């Protein structure tokens, strides 16, 4: 077994599988449910996987099914999943020994996508400070609002603030309310902090740190940061305009709101739809044209080395620049006067095509296992699970155990798959001393 642990990439899935199994065991305890009945294995496994993978998809009424102790377990699992189990383990090692060995530095690098091994310890401190500072600010604003305007007691307001702040920044989607955050759709003091927390958490620390450090010189950002920051802004704006236009007259969502309420609810939903998983609108009541928009946004996801899922913003826009260069007949793919390496282009194509294949296979399998399910509903649930978003049209809770296991596997693959694949490709790069004769097959 020693050969297994020599490669840090192999430890990435194990680093997420262990807390999933531990969380499943904890959630199967009688004290984890409101009625003190032992939940089914599939329910506990699904919920633990959803928490650790920071998906937030639920198959039951979270606040009325899980007890306070069960909700604490879900919160801790979400926090661990958001930080990355390997990052959390490295933080513990850092505190105990005040230094990191080479192997542990490689493990953290695989999770955080940091470029330099020597800066891992400093990176981890910055990550910890950023995460807990953002969550503290969100907790203070949301808890204060609930205490001031909604007559919550101090303890209840603080617990609600902490729970939703952790879920928002880590791009989970569990909520303490049966209808999600519908009650706060037009309250900017609750919805906006959570929305911005989800945006920041979904950018990725490499891009976030460089953007903050070099905010005066965005032209000097590296290509990955440019693709992530400006790509996220473009997706947010396009998604916001698209959802606002599609739902403007829909009485079941925002049709009855005033103009300011429509704008706020649409912006918040789009900000949290890319990977956040919270719902401020009833997803099952959306217009048909809104579903393709959300499916695409969920599939793209957030930034690399972030709490978000999906194929990642940089991957999507790198493919876009590759197509643009091909249409123009350019010999190189360039972004901001920088030539993109051919290996990065191949990496993007590999991740995107494998992700499409997994979503397609998952959708087909869900349709085979469940009778009477609409294609768009199955595709929505599968994409939400694979991209670790957590939005649902209500289908997940109605699926048989086999269908819920399919979504469980997709959540796990969606969390560790792109990360493991990217690290494996980076570590498996090799150089040949020969090249075969070239041919040019007909394409199209």
- DSSP one-letter string for 95-147: HHHSS--HHHHHHHHHHH--S-GGGHHHHHHHHHHHHHHHHHHHHHHHHHHHH
Q: At what angle do helices 290-300 and 259-273 cross, to 10 degrees?
A: 40
Give the pair of three-digit tokens for residue 272: 């949290």
Coil, strand or helix at 66: strand
CA dihedral 24→283→236→364, nearest 10 degrees, is 70
Residues 308, 171 contacting (CB under 8 angstroms): yes
The pLDDT of residue 77 is 92
- Give CA separation, 402 vs 149, 342, 430, in Å: 44, 41, 41
Sign of CA dihedral 65, 78, 131, 414: negative
Question: Is this structure's pTM higher than 0.85?
Answer: yes
CB crowding 293-309: b at 16 or more within 10 Å, else e? bbbbbbbbbbbbbbbbb
Measured at the CA of 341, the angle between CA 339 and CA 346, to 5 degrees, comes to: 135
The pLDDT of residue 115 is 43
Half-sphere exposure of 266 (CA within 13 A, CB side): 26
The pLDDT of residue 2 is 54
The pLDDT of residue 129 is 85
Q: Where are the domains of the chain?
A: 8-424
Measured at the CA of 194, the angle between CA 190 and CA 196, to 5 degrees, comes to: 120
Burial of 116 (0-12, 13-18, 19+ CB in 10 A): exposed
Residues 265, 281 contacting (CB under 8 angstroms): yes
Low-confidence ranges of the chain (pLDDT < 50): 3-4, 86, 88-118
């Amino acid at each position: 077994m020693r050969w297994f642990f020599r490669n840090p990439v192999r430890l990435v899935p194990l680093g997420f599988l262990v807390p999933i199994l531990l969380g499943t065991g904890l959630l199967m305890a009688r004290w984890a449910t409101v009625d003190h009945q032992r939940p089914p294995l599939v329910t506990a496994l699904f919920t633990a996987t959803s928490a650790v993978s920071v998906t937030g998809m639920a198959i039951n009424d979270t606040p009325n099914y899980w007890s306070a102790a069960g909700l604490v377990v879900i919160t801790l699992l979400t926090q661990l999943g958001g930080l990355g189990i390997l990052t959390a383990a490295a933080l513990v090692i850092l505190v105990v020994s005040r230094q990191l060995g080479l192997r542990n530095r490689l493990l953290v690098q695989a999770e955080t996508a940091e470029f330099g091994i020597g800066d891992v310890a400093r990176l981890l401190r910055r990550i910890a400070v950023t995460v807990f500072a953002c969550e503290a600010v969100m907790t203070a604003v949301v808890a204060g609002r609930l205490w001031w305007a909604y007559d919550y007691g101090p303890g209840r307001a603080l617990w609600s603030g902490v729970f939703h702040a952790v879920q928002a920044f880590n791009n989970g989607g569990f909520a303490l309310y049966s209808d999600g955050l519908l009650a706060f759709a037009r309250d900017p003091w609750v919805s906006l902090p959570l929305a911005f927390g989800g945006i920041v958490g979904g950018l990725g620390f490499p891009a976030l740190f460089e953007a903050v450090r070099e905010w005066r010189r965005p032209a000097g950002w590296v290509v990955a940061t440019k693709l992530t920051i400006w790509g996220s802004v473009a997706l947010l704006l396009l998604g916001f305009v698209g959802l606002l236009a599609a739902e403007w007259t829909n009485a079941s969502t925002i049709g009855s709101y005033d103009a300011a309420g429509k704008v706020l609810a649409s912006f918040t939903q789009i900000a949290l739809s890319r990977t956040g998983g919270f719902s401020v609108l009833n997803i099952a009541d959306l217009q048909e044209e809104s579903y393709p928009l959300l499916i695409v946004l969920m599939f793209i996801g957030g930034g690399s080395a972030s709490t978000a899922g999906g194929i990642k913003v940089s991957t999507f826009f790198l493919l876009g620049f590759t197509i643009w260069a091909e249409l123009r007949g350019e010999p190189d793919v360039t972004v901001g006067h920088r030539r993109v390496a051919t290996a990065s282009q191949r990496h993007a194509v590999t991740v995107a095509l494998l992700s499409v294949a997994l979503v397609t296979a998952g959708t087909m399998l869900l349709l085979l296992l469940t009778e009477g399910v609409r294609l768009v509903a199955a595709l929505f649930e599968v994409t939400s699970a694979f991209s670790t978003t957590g939005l649902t049209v209500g289908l997940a809770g109605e699926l048989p155990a086999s269908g819920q296991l399919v979504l469980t596997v997709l959540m796990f693959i969606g969390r560790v798959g792109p990360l493991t694949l990217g690290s494996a490709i980076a570590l498996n790069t090799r150089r040949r001393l020969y090249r075969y004769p070239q041919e040019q097959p007909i394409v199209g």
